[in-house]
A and B are shown apart, each in its own frame.
Chain A
Amino acid sequence: MTLTQDAPVRTDAITVEGVSRSFGSVKAVEDATLTVPRGHVTALIGPNGCGKTTLMLMLSGLLRPDAGEIAIAGHDPRTDAAAVRAEIGWMPDQLGSWDNLTCLQTLTLMGEAYRIPRATARARGMALLHRVHLEEFADRPARVLSRGQKQRLSLARALVHDPAVLLLDEPANGLDPRSRVELRDLVREFAAEGRAVLVSSHVLAELDEMVDDAVFMSKGRTMGEHAAAMVADARLKYRVDALDPAALQEALSRGGVEFEPTATGAITRIADEANAAQALAWLIRQGVQVHRFGPAGSALEQTYMAMNEERR
């Protein structure tokens, strides 16, 4: 299964249509619809308990949906669960490791569980440990790892069989800032290798630079078009701060620019970077003393907050 060479024409690695699942009376996922193309990173964003993990379990072929259609690289988990599981690299949100075994042993045995010959599995295990910067822990038992290190071991474990689809359930939890940046780069690399990546998280600032798409979830439902529009809109927003906010706002009104006034300046919508450069030049020409000019922060975070859904 070499991703780059014989990737099928089909581009959507994950398609989900109207999926639901309840546990007794708890409706964990009510109506989820999303697609993730190959080579794309999609974020799954939502408050605690909105059903992200449950949705990922259904995608990975561990949990049977009550209703709806799922296809992973063209396989249906209801009829072909083993094929689905073979395609998927799953990093669970629950950190589990074999405490007695070393990191390299863990990855080797896991590779063997995917029917990779032992020597190859061991070599790949070592390569993966390098990739997640755990090489110095190769021969130490997993119980000595810190939370963030276990998280990275778990990521390496998801990759032993070179999966076409990666499901990362809150991978940034417990990572220090440096590791988060590394994680972001790794996730982009995975996508560049042609894998489809679905990342769930509520650490939104990191996601912004990591993902191509975002799917918002609330109370078991994916938000679809509405949320996508909100993200697109949020991406347009620029924050402009001037030494004299009143003068800035007056100049904008005079120029017929729509804006939301803030205490230190204004928030306005600008289509792209060329437009932004022009807008800034225009403001300076108007004599506005701009001291800050840039995107208005994380688009995902703004959308998340704007969705204004209460936590469960």
Chain B
Amino acid sequence: MTTDTLHEHPAGADVPVDPPARKGNPWLPSFHGVGLMTRIELRRRRPSTKGYVLYGILFAIVIAICLAAAIFTPPQLSSTNFEIVLIMVLGVGMLIAPSLSATSINGDSGEGVLAPLQMSHLTAGDIAMGKLLASWTVSVFALVALSPFLIYTFLSSGWTVVEMLTTIGAILLVVLAFTAVGLAWSSIAARAVASVALAHLTTGFFLIGTLIAFGVSTLLFTEEATQRDRYIDWETLAPEAEEALNEAYMTGDFSALDPDDYQCVESEWAYTIAHTEHVAWILLTNPAVMITETAPIVDPETWEEDGRAAPGLFANIHSMVSDARLGPDDELDDYIAYDECAQLFQEAEASEMSEEELEAMWAEDENRWIERQQELANLERAPWLGLSVAGVLLVGSMWIVIRRLRVPYKKLRTGTRVA
């Protein structure tokens, strides 16, 4: 095709071109522009040999972990191995894609290849979206490279295909959002070192900082509860009474003790109940938590009948997050006051006869605990806040990038030239 046109126009002759006329100063992206910009970026950012070696090492590590996950997949259903592979996909994406995008604009501007593109018919939106997609594509490559492990571990995970696609979609969205954040930093900071550091700091803030923020803000929502205990005052005990008590503790027979010999003291102590339900939303903004919240619900009691694997990594994280969302369980967490005197004297008879009752009480306790676990595991999934955070990061970052790429410039990045 191209050789034909070359023959039509002999060497050196002028080839007439007719680019369309333009008006105003458009900034909206177009299909043609975004596609072209993505192509340009993918071609020109093909890694060098050194880059390939680095990617090779990274992938060797990731593949070793995935291989281990695949090999140690037990014969029965188990979702944790699959979830580890998903985490690898997320990790590789979050590590590479924002690093690439974070040098994309200030790097180009420093090399002097940005301004000629801005002069062309590509709009700020075309350049921004093209660069975003090109960097993000790398995480798609990571996904494709890891797909054999993904598929192999998926087969024994008890997940449905739709569930897998949902979670992978969430992962790709999170990577896209943080790629956009990297791009925004590269449009703001003049130097690549600064923008890469800022991009990873932002990622770190959302992945780890939100956990710390959750922990710290829990302290603001604590309830002081007091607990009154009664016990025998050993200080005032006569020597023979003390001996008798020790004897009684050894034998478990308290009937010989005379209540009058023992003085009871009361002590009050305070403990705190953390009302995590007020700050659990901080956890939900965490992108990793958001991804686990898209995973299927696994009932800790009925998973076998449901055709699921036993609750794996994601299901357990969901339970932990649900625990924070629901806050303390009054019935479970209530302390039972300790009353040594009452145990020894008043209810001596009562405790003797309650062997079965005691068992029933324990069973009830256990049932309540199981119920709570079931409630936690089945609590409705809450990825929405995390999804909105990713959406806001994505849209906000791209808005910044497009604004910073629009020419004519009013203000320049401090300490840079246009060309």
Contact = CB atoms under 8 A, between A and B. Distances in A.
Interface of A: 1-2, 23, 53, 57-58, 60-64, 77-83, 85-86, 88, 90, 92-101, 105, 109-116, 119-124, 126-127, 130-131, 135, 157, 160-162, 169
A252 B22 CA distance: 62
Given A127-B12, A127-B13, A162-B16, A23 B409 contact: no
Contact of A83 (B1, B6, B12, B23): B23
Contacts of B115: 62, 90, 92, 96
B303 to A, nearest CB: 52
9 contacts: A61-B408, A96-B112, A96-B419, A98-B43, A113-B117, A116-B17, A116-B19, A121-B17, A127-B12
Interface of B: 1-2, 4-6, 8-9, 11-26, 32, 36, 39-40, 43-46, 111-122, 407-410, 412, 417-419
B19 A115 contact: yes
A81 B22 CA distance: 9
A21 B80 CA distance: 62
A-B pairs with lowest CB-CB distance, top 10: A96-B112, A113-B120, A124-B15, A94-B112, A92-B419, A82-B22, A64-B408, A96-B113, A130-B12, A81-B25
Given A80-B25, A109-B36, A126 B11 contact: yes
Given A57-B418, A112-B36, A122-B2, A79 B17 contact: no
A113 B114 CA distance: 12
Given A1-B19, A109-B36, A127-B12, A90 B25 contact: no
Contacts of B36: 109, 112-113
B121 A114 contact: yes
Contacts of B412: 23
B419 A93 contact: yes
Contacts of A96: 111-116, 419
Given A92-B112, A98-B40, A100-B46, 7 more contacts: A93-B419, A109-B39, A109-B43, A113-B120, A119-B1, A119-B4, A124-B17
B87 to A, nearest CB: 33
A82 B23 contact: yes
Nearest to B27: A82
A123 B117 CA distance: 20
B9 A157 contact: no
A86 B409 contact: no
A114 B15 contact: no
A114 B44 contact: no
A291 B411 CA distance: 59
Contacts of A63: 407-409, 418
B407 A115 contact: no
A241 B45 CA distance: 62
Contacts of B43: 98, 100-101, 105, 109
Contact of B119 (A88, A100, A116, A123): A88
Nearest to A111: B17
Contact of A64 (B2, B111, B409): B409
Given A101-B43, A105-B43, A157-B116, A62 B122 contact: no
B19 A120 contact: no
A80 B25 CA distance: 6
B14 A94 contact: no
